[in-house]
Chain A
Amino acid sequence: MFSEMLIKLWENGIILKGVWETIYMTTLSSLIAYIIGLPLGVVLSVTSGEGIRPIPWLNRVLGLAVNFFRSIPFIILMVAMLPVAKWIVGVSLGNRAMIVMLVIAATPYVARMVESSLKEVDSGVVEAAQSMGTGNQQIVWKVLLPEARPSLATGAVISMVTILGYSAMAATIGGTGLGQIAISYGHQRFQPDVTWCCVFLTVIIVQIIQELGAWTAKKIDKRRRG
């Protein structure tokens, strides 16, 4: 029923290792992308024209930088950023370099996600906080971020799934994980069942991320009943 290749890959633990590598790359890249992208998104939202502290030039500069990186297709960005990866982590191959690429590609995406989540916060409650003499920093920490939490959680799920997709593409220039197994065993050695196995496992990972995210979003949403 299964090809010898698939059975061998399974028995050697290569597939499980691929699953682990995919999860590891996705999670770590998402985490770093959020560490940089979350503050960036906050700044983008706060300094915009409708924000609580408009700074047009800063907003414009950051907005342009974000758009620049977002408009480059990931596969091209990866190749272009190889020297940067080498400069940051010392190598331009393997998972460490791939994580740098993923972070470079994902951070602007995350920043826009965060920005749009914060913009969804009802401007009325922000005004209420302002009218009580609450400072901008406190408004960010105590009103904007807490009120945006469910939307931030949903955004994080979308970002992670996108990053997972990118991580598979990273296999084309030396990344590992399920993407690499699908390409080098499934595609290049003509073993469609290996490819399908990778597809199946990826779907399961995405599903787990989705469910976890939806559960978290629901848990922290105090606006709804139940």
Chain B
Amino acid sequence: MEREVLEISHLRKQYDGQTVIDDLSLTVHEGEVIVVIGPSGCGKSTLLRCVNALEDIQGGQIRLHGEPISQKSRNLQQLRQKVGMVFQNYELFPHMNVLDNILLAPVKAQKRARREVKEEAMALLGRVGLENRAESYPRQLSGGQKQRVAIVRALCMHPELLLFDEVTAALDPEMVREVLEVILDLADQGRTMLVVTHEMQFARAVADRIIFLDQGRICEEGPPETFFDAPKTERAEKFLKTFTFERKNKSKSGIRPGEEKL
């Protein structure tokens, strides 16, 4: 078995007394791609935010390479630098151009040499097809381009774990693909990733393991083929059905004007 990168044990998260995550345990191994799916409000985004200590937790523990990470961690800044996060709404700094957006944390937080990071940033921008947008401001980019910049920004920190929080949910359908292809490429490079998404086809393609969350608990988990083709739980089956559509009476003849029956 590969080395464990992330170990979540008995995690409990509450907002104003309401339990959002309930006794959740999950281990992510090096190079593993885990896709978390589930109905809205099931706690999947909250789970990612807890892993990066953007939320305080009420119980359990999250360990990154054995080190506990929470808002109380004394070396929280160092720990967060090892976890790259990409958000649904990109969250690029609007007053900085693309390059400065990428360089801020590596130069200011990690104290790396600007020139070295810049070279890396330009190379990564090239990989996602944005080498000529380094001087652009976020407002000049499309949603898909912004999200690719956000991914590069996360990668430049050399994270040991990448978190993707519904990164295509705010995108037009045509831009979804350009972003998902970048993530697939990262998976092929052997990156360790925790992905929250509503794109089921993508989840199936990219995941090593699917985690199905419902009401803050892991309801079902397993390899994507098993999960999508033969879900074990009724809840998962019901959830997957929401992605397929059928019409009950397609063969019936239409109603002529004036004959509508209500």
A42 to B48, CA, bound (A): 29
B residues less than 8 Å from A128 (CB atoms)? 85, 87, 91-93, 150
- On whether A147 and B94 interact (CB within 8 A), knowing A138-B108, A222-B139, the answer reads yes
- On whether A131 and B93 interact (CB within 8 A), knowing A142-B104, A142-B108, A225-B139, the answer reads no
- On whether A131 and B139 interact (CB within 8 A), knowing A142-B104, A147-B95, A222-B95, the answer reads no
Checking B77, B87, B95 against A133 with a beta-carbon cut-off of 8 angstroms, the contacting residue is B77
Contact with A along B80-99 (1 / 0, CB 8 A): 11011101010111111000
Contact with A along B95-122 (1 / 0, CB 8 A): 1100000001100111000000000000
The reply to whether B89 and A131 form a contact with Cβ atoms under 8 Å apart is: no
A97 to B174, CA, bound (A): 66
Q: Does B14 contact A (CB under 8 A)?
A: no
The reply to whether A133 and B93 form a contact with Cβ atoms under 8 Å apart is: no
Contact with B along A105-148 (1 / 0, CB 8 A): 00000000000000000101101111111110010001100110
The reply to whether A124 and B91 form a contact with Cβ atoms under 8 Å apart is: yes
The reply to whether A132 and B80 form a contact with Cβ atoms under 8 Å apart is: yes
Q: Does B45 contact A (CB under 8 A)?
A: no
Interface residue tally of chain B, by bracket? Answer: 20 to 34
Contact with B along A28-61 (1 / 0, CB 8 A): 0000000000000000000000000000000000
B residues less than 8 Å from A223 (CB atoms)? 94-95, 137, 139
Interface secondary structure of A, over-half rule: helix
**B79 CB to closest chain A CB, in angstroms?**
7
- On whether A138 and B109 interact (CB within 8 A), knowing A132-B157, A146-B95, the answer reads yes
The reply to whether A135 and B94 form a contact with Cβ atoms under 8 Å apart is: no
**A141 CB to closest chain B CB, in angstroms?**
9
**B9 CB to closest chain A CB, in angstroms?**
22
A133 to B80, CA, bound (A): 5
A88 to B156, CA, bound (A): 52
A residues less than 8 Å from B110 (CB atoms)? 133
The reply to whether A133 and B79 form a contact with Cβ atoms under 8 Å apart is: yes
The reply to whether A131 and B108 form a contact with Cβ atoms under 8 Å apart is: no
Checking A122, A124, A131, A222 against B80 with a beta-carbon cut-off of 8 angstroms, the contacting residue is A131
A residues less than 8 Å from B76 (CB atoms)? 133
The reply to whether B81 and A132 form a contact with Cβ atoms under 8 Å apart is: yes
Closest to B110 in A: A133
- On whether A125 and B108 interact (CB within 8 A), knowing A131-B54, A133-B78, A133-B79, the answer reads no
Closest to B93 in A: A125
B residues less than 8 Å from A132 (CB atoms)? 80-81, 84-85, 104-105, 109, 153-154, 157
Checking A125, A129, A220, A222 against B105 with a beta-carbon cut-off of 8 angstroms, the contacting residue is A129
A32 to B55, CA, bound (A): 39
Q: Does B52 contact A (CB under 8 A)?
A: yes
A residues less than 8 Å from B157 (CB atoms)? 132-133
A132 to B79, CA, bound (A): 9
A146 to B83, CA, bound (A): 25
**B69 CB to closest chain A CB, in angstroms?**
11
Checking A124, A134, A147, A224 against B77 with a beta-carbon cut-off of 8 angstroms, the contacting residue is A134
Checking A124, A133, A146, A224 against B96 with a beta-carbon cut-off of 8 angstroms, the contacting residue is A146
**A159 CB to closest chain B CB, in angstroms?**
22
Checking B83, B91, B94, B154 against A222 with a beta-carbon cut-off of 8 angstroms, the contacting residue is B94
Closest to B108 in A: A138
* B residues whose Cβ falls under 8 Å from a Cβ of A: 52, 54, 76-81, 83-85, 87, 89, 91-96, 104-105, 108-110, 137, 139, 150, 153-154, 157
List 27 A-B pairs, Cβ < 8 Å.
Answer: A124-B91, A125-B91, A125-B92, A125-B93, A128-B85, A128-B87, A129-B104, A132-B80, A132-B85, A132-B157, A133-B76, A133-B109, A133-B157, A134-B104, A134-B108, A134-B109, A143-B104, A147-B93, A149-B95, A220-B95, A221-B95, A222-B94, A222-B95, A222-B96, A222-B137, A223-B139, A224-B139
